[in-house]
Structure 1
């Protein structure tokens, strides 16, 4: 899954939920469960996610929704192999982007 968000300093929880096609409640739940997610909150208490938070959410989404990890399994995996997991995840995303571009070229021919 490729998250398509405009480049901004902060994203609202609604924007993030739409980008991941999940409920805002799931984002809030993951925020409580995973230490890597620490969105800033304004005076009203609204969450503002940084691009770093989005990267962490992508990784959590990949582990839980795409690879089928349990929450405990995803937490353990992130703690033990964070650097290795992040590198593999970024490589997979780049390859998916290239594949999509190649499929677009193929369709145009």
Structure 2
């Protein structure tokens, strides 16, 4: 499951289907509804939840922040509110790797001032 994996072409999704698409249990989705104000699926007769595609993408983003980036609930809430433009520690580590690769390439190259 990836954050950007395509969704079935449907207008609304039930809680069980969203749980399968996002690889979380339905009770986790209900808990996240309480913790993240932006996650508010529609409710119709019988108080059943109907998630839109935007809700499913938000659930995937929350799962990514909590499970992959290891944010706390509060930290994930701040990230979703626009605390930073980065996607978290993963992007920071990628930047460090790029910098280290550039340093390695400089060290492997010919000495400065000499022709090979």
**With structure 2 as the length reference, what TM-score do the two structures score?**
0.66
Larger Rg: 2
- Aligned residue for 1:17? 19
Deviation beyond 2 Å, 4+ runs, structure 1: 1-5
- Aligned with 1:37: secondary structure? coil
Match of residue 68, structure 2, among 42, 66, 69: 66
Query: What number of residue pairs does the alignment pair up?
Result: 87
Tell me if the contact between 1:4 and 1:19 (Cα under 8 Å) persists in the aligned partners: no
Compare the two structures and name the one with the higher helix fraction. 1
Distance (whole Å) between structure 1 residues aligned to residue 6 and residue 54 of structure 2? 15
Gaps of 5+ in 2: 92-116
Gaps of 5+ in 1: 93-109
CA RMSD of aligned residues (A): 2.1
